[in-house]
Amino acid sequence: MMTTLTATVPEFLPPSLKSTRGYFNSHSEFGVSISKFSRRRFHNPTRVFAVSDISKLVTEFDPKIPLERASTPPSSWYTDPQFYSFELDRVFYGGWQAVGYSDQIKESRDFFTGRLGDVEFVVCRDENGKIHAFHNVCSHHASILASGNGRKSCFVCPYHGWTYSLSGSLVKATRMSGIQNFSLSEMGLKPLRVAVWGPFVLLKVTAATSRNGEVETDELVASEWLGTSVGRLSQGGVDSPLSYICRREYTIDCNWKVFCDNYLDGGYHVPYAHKGLMSGLDLETYSTTVYFFW
């Protein structure tokens, strides 16, 4: 049997902008994929940084100076692996992130999967209609449990057959009978904080759930996620029921902030890069409003 391995891309590349999912991509002649085996089991909330180095990188840029004196952030913000790890913890893992739509888990047993930074997750609705979110990783040998989206009655590990209910509990562990100090109740899936605001499903990557895995729907979540812009978006109907149609993913070979910089330049590039689009726009009426946390 011959197996070909493709090495993973560097961990410090942008989240959700990699052509791979951070795992080995390989298929044997028996059709068994080993792409499911994670190089990282769970998010580590106690990641250690060299504080002096990070502080220096952060203070190289002053976001409060007048626009007339503004300059671009230092290149290290886009290229330094340590700074990217810092961003994962402070930007992506430290707050709520929209990862999907409630229509994707409209019915019992519906699920969808995704990746936030280097954290694989699965969101599902159990038989009783309750929404759950977990690290999409088997508690045994860190295999990815589910892929894509669809409907399941349980999650079965493709590596050793460990089986989990949609509420995250381990219900079957093959060939583990007689093993001392082993308990099914202690080997369930690791939960993530999950919330629903309007049509959006939100996740927060933290070490533990604050409400025993309960779905959070209060205004505090909206305020934490959207800051002062929540009222404006509600007035525009963003939090009203919107129908989910489809999801499209694009691989962009850049740091995540490059994409944001492009979108947030106030239409500066549109006349030159999007001449067709420009014909239908009047940029003289274009205005930019900055909201806290938006």
Average pLDDT over residues 19-34: 33
pLDDT band at 42 (very low <50, low <70, confident <90, very high): low
Q: Which pTM was predicted? A: 0.74
For residues 284 and 136, what is the distance between their CA atoms, to the nearest angstrom? 47
Q: Show the CA angle centred on residue 263, arms to residues 281 and 84, nearest 5°.
A: 180
Q: Long-range CB contacts (< 8 A, 24+ apart) of 88-93?
A: 88/15, 88/117, 88/118, 89/45, 89/47, 92/15, 92/116, 92/117, 92/205, 93/43, 93/45, 93/117, 93/119, 93/204, 93/205, 93/206
Token pair 């330049």 in the structure block, residue: 265
Q: Classify residue 199: in a domain, yes or no.
A: no
Range of the domain at 66: 51-92
Q: Classify residue 59: in a domain, yes or no.
A: yes
pLDDT band at 293 (very low <50, low <70, confident <90, very high): low
pLDDT digits (tens, 9 = 90+) for 258-267: 999 998 888 8
Q: Classify residue 88: in a domain, yes or no.
A: yes
Token pair 């994929």 in the structure block, residue: 33
Instruction: State how many domains the chain has.
Output: 1
pLDDT band at 172 (very low <50, low <70, confident <90, very high): very high
Average pLDDT, the chain: 79
pLDDT band at 135 (very low <50, low <70, confident <90, very high): very high
Average pLDDT over residues 201-227: 71
Residue with the bigger pLDDT between 68 and 290: it is 68
User: How many angstroms separate the Cα of 137 from the Cα of each of 41, 90, 215, 241, 287?
Assistant: 7, 23, 20, 31, 44
pLDDT digits (tens, 9 = 90+) for 265-280: 888 899 999 999 988 8
Q: Classify residue 70: in a domain, yes or no.
A: yes
Q: Show the CA angle centred on residue 250, arms to residues 246 and 253, nearest 5°.
A: 165
Q: Classify residue 227: in a domain, yes or no.
A: no
Q: Which helix (H) or strand (E) holds 203?
A: strand 200-204
CA atoms within 13 A of residue 177's CA, in its CB half-sphere? 3
Residue with the bigger pLDDT between 110 and 40: it is 110
